[in-house]
Structure 1
């Protein structure tokens, strides 16, 4: 009886998912899809990137990567995340560039939307349907490469 109930719950859960929701979230009208590649810009053996060797630290690229720059975060155990520094729930304007403090990125607009730079998820009280735009990250030796197709 428990197995039947579990299968029924699983089927209901899977059938309630809407594939169109994925397309809405991925196709953010506020952030243009700009191709870039940091190449060997982030070299952990150089002193300006040495903080990024340790979990909990981040680095912000120049603004010519992505739309308003990219934040790269060391999550520990050679795991890095990289996100666009543009608020995904605002049209592009001066205040929609995010500033990073600790693990939170906040826009300077009146509504101060805030996102976690480890997961990209909006924080409680942040309105809008989008999380931060995630970029690809690869670590090879001391080089961290970040790119978008």
Structure 2
């Protein structure tokens, strides 16, 4: 009887756990493939070697509206350039404001260090960044 109680309690606790992605992943952004390789020795990307250096990259096929790459000092982060708080429209491309990203559609700021919305809304869609020597590989 004690084992049954423990098993039921375990299943209840396990079932009540949920991923934060359910609450933070935007339902507005469609899937878009991202497969980018960047040579940090290329002069076009030298800004990324600087602390809090950021770059908008729109190669026409990566991400929904492109990818924003950021040097946080502790590593590189890559985010979708489309605001996650609404369906994609003309004003959806995020703009740089220091080490913040800004959505002009809804006046929402996002931290490039964390990807979190600072004044409400979904967090930015983040892409995986692998670093090997002077090469960044960004994928989803």
Which residue number in structure 1 is paired with residue 72 of structure 2? 75
Which residue number in structure 1 is paired with residue 40 of structure 2? 44
Structure 1 gap ranges (5+):
1-14
Question: 1:22 Cα deviation (Å)?
Answer: 2.7
* RMSD, matched Cα: 2.0
Which residue number in structure 1 is paired with residue 120 of structure 2? 127
SS at 2:84 equivalent: coil
Which residue number in structure 2 is paired with residue 142 of structure 1? 134
Distance in 2 between residues matched to 1:51 and 1:68, nearest whole Å: 21
- TM-score of the pair, normalised by structure 1: 0.75
SS at 1:45 equivalent: coil
Greater mean alpha carbon deviation, residues 21-30 or residues 85-94? 21-30
Cα deviation per residue 1:120-149 (whole Å; 9 max; x = unaligned)?
Answer: 0111xx332x1001100011111111111x
Distance in 2 between residues matched to 1:87 and 1:36, nearest whole Å: 17
Which residue number in structure 2 is paired with residue 11 of structure 1? none
May I ask how many residue pairs the two structures share in their alignment?
126
**Pairwise mapping of residues 1-149 of structure 1 onto structure 2 (< 5 A)?**
19-20=17-18, 22-25=20-23, 27-39=25-37, 42-62=38-58, 63-77=60-74, 79-109=75-105, 111-123=106-118, 126-128=119-121, 130-148=122-140
Runs (4+) off by over 2 Å: 18-28
Which residue number in structure 2 is paired with residue 3 of structure 1? none
